[in-house]
């Protein structure tokens, strides 16, 4: 009897079983099968290795004289290999079975039915169930275990404890070897493929992400990782909205109308747990709720459909959801610029949106929208920010727009749209966000009037420096005298240039900034012996006092860049630090400045340091 096995039968080990159960058999192995198995093995897929092991078993049986094994047909072309899912390779295998008048052996039900339709003799065997059907690493979890971390050559570790009090600890003294890790990894992936309780969220060479029951498991392999690593995570608590502070107010707010909500907090703070509670509450309140997740790991009820990235793209998922028209969508997690764009598009289309965002402060979550969404649209996209810390609601912000004179300015003609960020508990504004001299700035409102730079003091000094620098040729110093007064110190030769004929030039600057400016020479500055004592010899606002701790600078934030002026250090390589902490290294350009593109990780860190009023210094590299 002659049989022609297809790829599925070889992978499942059904060919050697067939030989051992029925002696006189000639096995005709298509070269197309060998090519497909080799391709899968090269991609790091276990199915490819399983199939090659089966071919080696057949070779051993042939050497023992138990079976006649021959390789027939031709290798697949690259175009046929890439079209394997479209049936090109299966068609080649069927053609060989028909030409050889042999029985086609397959575990693929579609292949079997097509062969029957074409009049080919076919023998169908049930596909082998792989994996244990259970989570083999579940023994490492107890009631307080949030995650388990396994890696070749290390002792098993876990994060255990209550939310906000997690401890990373060793849970087994036995080091996991390569064989054990491979057995666990293979079983997890195969169980996810075959069990109705799990699925493969992602399968790429070197990385698989599995969702099995309420466990999310990442399996990394070489060469993507330097060894086999398994990270399994599960939620340790499930809450409802009543478990949180401001529960009644938040319920009323969410039910009042569809809103844009950002749930923020640091990793492990309990953001996703709170998002699940919100999702369940909205569903119970007769809202149609969907989720957008990659991977899907929110533990929600069956009434809430969980969507992932369609074709790897959340924009496509959003397009599909807009056809479904949910009342609310939970977006977990909003991280990249494209994510914020999708979130904004859906919100502006009328869908209530709840986004989960990593942020170390409540205001940071809102600031991540700046530059990604038009400033005036931010309150329409996000009107509520909830900050989670240690599993509890720490801060809730109400976000709205008001046309007013920003806090700290007095001139009526400076009125403009201002985003007010108000503390939900106290009802007091804590931040204002608005455009000042072509820049978007976030100003904390101290409310006590005693801060040395209350209101827009820091920004005002920076803007005055920039305006005067555009007129003066030498060094410029600015000293604030309250919220709407300043003294500008310039070189003696620059006095006439800065003041202008009849005071017209400095009056124009005062009108633009809404600040009264007194122009003096450096010699008139209290505590200064003369112009030669000017700060560090730096020729711009970016330069500041030279000290053993470096040159203090005031970076300028434009619509596209964060700029550090270093006029007298062209070509030098320097380090930028915030409160002594290293940020990055850069070379001063020919224009005497360092420009960092906004939206980059470096610019984000620098802007956060500026917002926190940290001391920015420049040091020789």
Give the model confidence (pLDDT) of 449-489 as tens digits. Answer: 444 444 456 666 777 877 887 787 778 888 887 667 888 88
Convert the pLDDT of each residue in 92-119 to its tens digit.
899 999 999 999 999 888 989 999 999 9
Rounded-to-integer distance, Cα 356 and Cα 334, Å: 6
How does residue 79 score in pLDDT terms, banded at 50, 70 and 90? low
pLDDT of residue 83 exceeding 50, the answer is no
Per-residue model confidence (pLDDT) at position 543: 41
Please state, in angstroms and rounded to a whole number, the distance separating the CA atoms of residues 328 and 352.
4
pTM of this prediction? 0.57
- Is the pLDDT at 548 greater than 50, yes or no? no
What dihedral do alpha carbons 278, 280, 282, 288 form, nearest 10°?
130
**3-state DSSP: the chain helix, strand, coil percent, rounded to 5?**
35, 30, 35
| 481-509 per-position pLDDT tens digit | 766 788 888 888 888 888 887 788 888 88
Is the confidence at residue 85, as pLDDT, over 70?
no
More confident residue, 471 or 79: 471
Taking 60 as the threshold, does the pLDDT of residue 131 lie above it? no
- What's the average model confidence in pLDDT over 34-48? 82
pLDDT at residue 66 tops 90: no
Q: Measuring CA to CA, which residue among 435, 436, 452, 433 is closest to residue 444?
A: 433
In this prediction, residue 244 carries a pLDDT of 86
- Residues 310, 324: Cα–Cα separation, whole Å: 14
Asked if the model's pLDDT at residue 59 lies above 80, the reply is yes
Above pLDDT 70, what percent of the chain?
88
pLDDT, average across residues 299-324: 90
In terms of average pLDDT, the best of 172-181, 238-247, 297-306, 577-586 is: 172-181
Task: Express as a percent the part of the chain with pLDDT over 90.
Answer: 29
Q: Average pLDDT of the chain?
A: 83
pLDDT at 410: 61
| Nearest residue to 227 (alpha-carbon basis) of 183, 186, 174, 181 | 181
In terms of pLDDT, which residue wins out, 538 or 523?
A: 523
Tens digits of residue pLDDT in 586-605: 888 777 888 888 877 778 88
* Spatial separation of the C-alpha atoms in residues 399 and 199, rounded to whole Å: 40
């Amino acid at each position: 009897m002659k049989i022609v096995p297809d790829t599925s039968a070889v992978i499942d080990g059904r060919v050697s079983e067939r030989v051992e159960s029925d002696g006189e058999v000639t096995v005709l192995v298509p070269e197309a099968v060998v090519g497909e198995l080799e391709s899968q093995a090269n991609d790091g897929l276990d199915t490819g290795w399983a199939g090659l092991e089966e071919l080696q078993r057949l070779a051993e049986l042939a050497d023992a004289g138990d079976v006649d094994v021959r390789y027939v047909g031709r290798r697949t072309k690259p175009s046929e290999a890439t079209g394997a899912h479209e049936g090109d390779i299966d068609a080649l295998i069927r053609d060989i079975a028909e030409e050889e008048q042999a029985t086609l052996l397959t575990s693929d039900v579609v292949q079997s039915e097509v062969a029957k339709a074409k009049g080919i003799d076919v023998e169908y065997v049930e596909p082998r169930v792989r994996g244990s059907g259970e989570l083999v690493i579940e023994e490492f979890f107890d009631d307080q275990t949030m995650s388990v971390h396994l890696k070749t050559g290390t002792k098993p570790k876990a994060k255990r404890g209550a939310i906000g009090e997690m401890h990373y600890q060793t849970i087994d003294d036995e080091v996991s070897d390569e064989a054990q890790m491979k057995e666990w990894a293979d079983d997890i992936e195969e169980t996810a493929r075959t069990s109705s309780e799990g699925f493969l969220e992602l399968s790429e060479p070197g990385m698989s992400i599995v969702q099995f029951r309420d466990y999310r498991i990442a399996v990394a392999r070489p060469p993507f990782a330097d060894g086999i690593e398994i990270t399994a995570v599960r939620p340790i608590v499930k809450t409802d909205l009543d478990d949180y502070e401001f529960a009644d107010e938040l319920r009323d707010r969410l039910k009042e109308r569809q809103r844009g909500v950002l749930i923020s907090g640091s990793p492990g703070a309990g953001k996703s747990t709170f998002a699940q509670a919100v999702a369940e509450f909205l569903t119970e309140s007769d809202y149609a709720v969907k989720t957008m997740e990659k991977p899907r790991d929110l533990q929600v009820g069956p009434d809430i459909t969980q969507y992932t990235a369609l074709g790897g793209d959340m924009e496509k998922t959003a397009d599909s959801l807009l056809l479904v028209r949910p009342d609310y969508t939970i977006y977990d997690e909003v991280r990249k610029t494209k994510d914020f764009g999708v979130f904004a598009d859906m919100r502006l289309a009328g869908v209530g949106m709840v986004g989960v965002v990593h942020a170390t402060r409540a205001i940071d979550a809102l600031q991540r929208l700046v530059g990604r969404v038009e400033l005036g649209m931010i309150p329409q996209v996000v009107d509520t920010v909830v900050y989670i810390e240690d599993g509890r609601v720490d801060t809730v912000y109400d976000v709205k727009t008001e046309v007013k004179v920003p806090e700290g300015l007095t001139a009526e003609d400076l009125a403009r749209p201002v985003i007010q960020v108000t503390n939900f508990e106290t009802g007091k504004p804590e931040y204002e966000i608005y455009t000042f001299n072509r820049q978007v700035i976030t100003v904390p409102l101290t409310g006590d009037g005693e801060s040395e730079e209350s209101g827009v003091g820091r920004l005002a000094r920076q803007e005055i420096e920039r305006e005067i620098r555009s007129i003066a040729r030498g060094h410029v110093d600015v000293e604030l005298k309250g919220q709407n007064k300043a003294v500008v110190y310039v070189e003696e030769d620059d006095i006439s240039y800065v003041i202008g004929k009849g005071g017209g030039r400095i009056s124009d600057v005062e009108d633009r900034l809404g600040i009264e400016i007194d122009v003096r020479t450096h010699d008139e500055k209290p505590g200064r012996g003369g112009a030669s004592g000017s700060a560090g010899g730096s020729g711009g606002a970016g330069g500041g006092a030279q000290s053993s701790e470096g040159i203090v600078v005031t970076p300028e934030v434009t619509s596209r860049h964060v700029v550090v002026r270093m006029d007298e250090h062209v070509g030098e390589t320097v380090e930028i630090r915030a409160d002594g902490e290293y940020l990055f290294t850069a070379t001063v350009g020919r224009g005497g400045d360092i420009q960092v593109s906004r939206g980059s990780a470096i610019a984000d860190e620098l802007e956060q340091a500026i917002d926190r009023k940290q001391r920015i210094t420049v040091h020789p590299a």
